[in-house]
Chains A and B, each alone.
Chain A
């Protein structure tokens, strides 16, 4: 109510109009089965970084897709710099000075930076468009310290560089309003800091930047104001300086987060060695050594963390352990048996579950139903199937039980998994893998892209699983996650372990340094 009065005041009074870059008034958008935006009023000023905070499925991206013309709102109005506009397509949005950088980049990998930028540019003429763009890139690159070379091909660039090209693309098209959808998920900490510096400069030049995120830390690092969405509704708009993480978490989730307690010395079962890896060498997809002589062991009742910036061999290490990637040399011993280069199913039968890094490509079959996905790793056994047929009546019962237990949000058990949100997909994978009662769980980036409460939930599941006397190996690039969960931490850098340390004696700072390759 308060919001609504405020906004109507804004549209009526002339003095403040230039200040408000965007006003989205009483926006509603409904999808089949769900209301994505429910009477949302959102406002961002000229020259501010405005964080849009909310959990997965809170309606942040939908709201911004409406602003960018990807969707039409069912109800509501949009004003830019005080003028009412109708945005029918991204082309309209670009013309009006709005740019958006999506989570998944939309660049053509085989073309150069300048060629990508020249694509779709109007008013550039037929002659030498790429040449003209090049000068522009060089200017901007100098101004914002982008370090982007116009002749570089997109496929040669890192995720962070590609993102900067996306931002440049928006600027080339004349954007005064820039929307960034969870821009830090693909970035290393160093690249993130670089992005933030760039955004601050753009703000000081008078751009309005909308920063979609579910990470509280980033709100405080970068934003001037923050709007919190919960279940499609605006909960509050606050000055970042006048609030604190606890208050934001409470607003975002609707309640305070429960605390985790990691009991590291447990008793009731005997400690035995579940996994031993000895002097392991593994190649990556390009045939280069990705894992170079790694040795460690994990015991029952222990969570072992492999920390590191992604791309340092963690994925290959995990894949080798579960049998999805050939071991070049070295040994993998599970529960006392040498399983080096065993086929994946044999390793699975030894009681090893696996949460892969790439959920959609590996972890699930997107076009199959939830029922058929929860049996992906056990379908050949009773009671899931008999000699010939799958046991569908049992499947229905089993899946219904799992989706209740793991709180998967879905209308029924028959819908294709691709229709679920990322968090719910991950819950389906977790439910499946944990229901195998694995003695060893290998989890690669298990909370990647999950919001605060889903992450918390996954962590509590892991701790419970450990307390039952099982072993877990977690690969993560989040130092806080590692330290909250693990008993021992190995830092992986350039294919080998820099060190293995007890998590108790490590600080986030120290772990970050080690992840950057500095031994302490």
Chain B
């Protein structure tokens, strides 16, 4: 391509250094912040003021940091789960629904299955069943994909709506609480099964510990075990996987089960740690399942890198809340913000494989 007196040339890189792999997502985020600055300016708000509000209220204060960690928990759990499925070349975009299904399972345990049992049994049971339920929910698209060649992007997305509607049915119908003055929500969980928090914060630390260990264990699973090897071979080259005798059904089901299971854990954490009752689906999750897609790509599908990536995204969510309050901007501006980041990060991806050279034209 030629612009004025310069040639712009796109060349394939012969090597990609690890430094470059770390630098490119970082720069991508910076560029998205620049574009977002234009959005703020368009809204008549000084971008500097906006960013000040975002960063001081989030990364800038201890309180902000604790808010970030509390939001990091579901993002990290879902993000790690998505990494497992993405590395198996299964595009799971149904984490949002899998969160909800995990939350449903936890509600059932807390209010109906084990209403007056010791919390030392109920809490593990909530997590266990939440994991199973989220996993089982995600397994359905995996089976559809392998047995009937149904595109899992569509089936996982559609199953989110099914999960939402089931929840609405329950909170308007059979599970509607007796002490809620007609609001569509369940009764509060018994206080004994509320997840413990670090005092003065919203950090329900049992789920935080689960999320951090999930990140470490998943990375070990993917890179060091036989099962992880099968997932990666299947993800990188289905033809080679067939040649190696790997069962497509087995790997897809396991990958999606783990992926959905981790999102289910996130749902348990939100419901038993923050809300303590089943409510509208969007009130429980507010898009963690979708934001986690950005976490997964930002971490370049590495489970350990998902920890800083989810910290950063959680920070932007907290900052987004801050601009809503202090600048009275609509919540959708936060979504524009997140969308811009995803766009820049996925667009920046190409620069790890190609380089752009600008040559001066000599005639």
Please tell me if the beta carbons of A392 and B224 are within 8 angstroms of each other in the complex: yes
**A412 CB, min distance to chain B CBs, angstroms:** 14
5 sample A-B contacts, Cβ–Cβ < 8 Å, listed by A number: A88-B9, A343-B245, A364-B240, A379-B244, A390-B226
CB contacts under 8 Å to A, within B228-244, are 229, 232-233, 236-237, 239-240, 242-244
Please tell me if the beta carbons of A361 and B224 are within 8 angstroms of each other in the complex: no
Please tell me if the beta carbons of A380 and B240 are within 8 angstroms of each other in the complex: no
Which of the 9-residue segments A183-191, A365-373, A451-459, A503-511 touches chain B? Answer: A365-373
Q: In the complex, which of the residues B227, B232, B243, B362 contacts A324, with contact meaning CB atoms closer than 8 Å?
A: B243
- The verdict on A497 contacting chain B, using a C-beta distance below 8 Å, is no
Please tell me if the beta carbons of A324 and B242 are within 8 angstroms of each other in the complex: yes
Q: Which residue of B lies closest to A380 (CB)?
A: B226
Contacts of A362 in B (CB 8 A): 237, 239-240, 242-243
- The verdict on A388 contacting chain B, using a C-beta distance below 8 Å, is yes
Q: In the complex, which of the residues A88, A344, A364, A390 contacts B225, with contact meaning CB atoms closer than 8 Å?
A: A390
Contacts of B227 in A (CB 8 A): 388
- The verdict on B19 contacting chain A, using a C-beta distance below 8 Å, is no
Please tell me if the beta carbons of B226 and A385 are within 8 angstroms of each other in the complex: yes
Please tell me if the beta carbons of B243 and A363 are within 8 angstroms of each other in the complex: yes
Question: Told that A365-B237, A367-B236, A388-B226 touch, could you supply 6 new A-B pairs with CB distance under 8 A?
Answer: A32-B14, A89-B7, A89-B9, A324-B242, A368-B236, A380-B226
Contacts of B359 in A (CB 8 A): 88
Q: Which residue of B lies closest to A31 (CB)?
A: B14
1/0 per residue A324-365: CB within 8 Å of B? Answer: 100000000000000000011110100000101010011111
1/0 per residue B205-232: CB within 8 Å of A? Answer: 0000000000000000000111101001
Contacts of B224 in A (CB 8 A): 389-390, 392
Please tell me if the beta carbons of A366 and B237 are within 8 angstroms of each other in the complex: yes
Contacts of B236 in A (CB 8 A): 365-368
Query: Given contacts A379-B226, A390-B226, are A344 and B240 in contact (CB under 8 A)?
Result: no
Please tell me if the beta carbons of A389 and B240 are within 8 angstroms of each other in the complex: no
Please tell me if the beta carbons of B15 and A365 are within 8 angstroms of each other in the complex: no
Contacts of B237 in A (CB 8 A): 361-362, 364-366
CB contacts under 8 Å to B, within A252-282, are none
**B15 CB, min distance to chain A CBs, angstroms:** 6
1/0 per residue A376-393: CB within 8 Å of B? Answer: 110110000100111010
**A261 CB, min distance to chain B CBs, angstroms:** 33
Please tell me if the beta carbons of B233 and A368 are within 8 angstroms of each other in the complex: yes
Q: Which residue of B lies closest to A361 (CB)?
A: B239
Q: In the complex, which of the residues A86, A376, A385 contacts B244, with contact meaning CB atoms closer than 8 Å?
A: A376
Please tell me if the beta carbons of A32 and B7 are within 8 angstroms of each other in the complex: no
Complex CA distance for A400 and B186, rounded to whole angstroms: 62
Please tell me if the beta carbons of B244 and A377 are within 8 angstroms of each other in the complex: yes
**A201 CB, min distance to chain B CBs, angstroms:** 36
Complex CA distance for A366 and B240, rounded to whole angstroms: 10
Q: Which 6 A-B pairs have the closest CB atoms?
A: A345-B245, A344-B245, A362-B239, A365-B237, A376-B244, A365-B240
1/0 per residue B247-276: CB within 8 Å of A? Answer: 000000000000000000000000000000
Please tell me if the beta carbons of A365 and B233 are within 8 angstroms of each other in the complex: yes
**A453 CB, min distance to chain B CBs, angstroms:** 26
Contacts of B245 in A (CB 8 A): 343-346, 348, 377
Q: Which residue of A lies closest to B15 (CB)?
A: A32
Complex CA distance for A137 and B64, rounded to whole angstroms: 70
1/0 per residue A106-129: CB within 8 Å of B? Answer: 000000000000000000000000
1/0 per residue B1-32: CB within 8 Å of A? Answer: 00000010100001100000000000000000
Contacts of A86 in B (CB 8 A): 362
Q: In the complex, which of the residues A31, A346, A376, A392 contacts B240, with contact meaning CB atoms closer than 8 Å?
A: A376
**B328 CB, min distance to chain A CBs, angstroms:** 48
Q: Which residue of B lies closest to A354 (CB)?
A: B243
**A337 CB, min distance to chain B CBs, angstroms:** 17
Contacts of B244 in A (CB 8 A): 344-345, 376-377, 379
Contacts of A392 in B (CB 8 A): 224
Contacts of A344 in B (CB 8 A): 242-245
**A436 CB, min distance to chain B CBs, angstroms:** 12
Q: Which residue of A lies closest to B362 (CB)?
A: A86
Complex CA distance for A367 and B16, rounded to whole angstroms: 13
Among A86, A348, A368, chain B packs the most CB atoms within 10 A around the CB of A368
Complex CA distance for A430 and B144, rounded to whole angstroms: 37
CB contacts under 8 Å to B, within A292-343, are 324, 343
Complex CA distance for A379 and B224, rounded to whole angstroms: 12
Contacts of A364 in B (CB 8 A): 237, 240
Q: In the complex, which of the residues B7, B15, B226, B233 contacts A389, with contact meaning CB atoms closer than 8 Å?
A: B226
Contacts of A32 in B (CB 8 A): 14-15
**A71 CB, min distance to chain B CBs, angstroms:** 9
Contacts of A358 in B (CB 8 A): 239
Q: Which residue of A lies closest to B220 (CB)?
A: A389
**A275 CB, min distance to chain B CBs, angstroms:** 19
**B120 CB, min distance to chain A CBs, angstroms:** 30
Please tell me if the beta carbons of A372 and B239 are within 8 angstroms of each other in the complex: no
Complex CA distance for A354 and B226, rounded to whole angstroms: 22
Please tell me if the beta carbons of B14 and A376 are within 8 angstroms of each other in the complex: no
Q: In the complex, which of the residues B225, B240, B243 contacts A388, with contact meaning CB atoms closer than 8 Å?
A: B225
Complex CA distance for A385 and B229, rounded to whole angstroms: 11
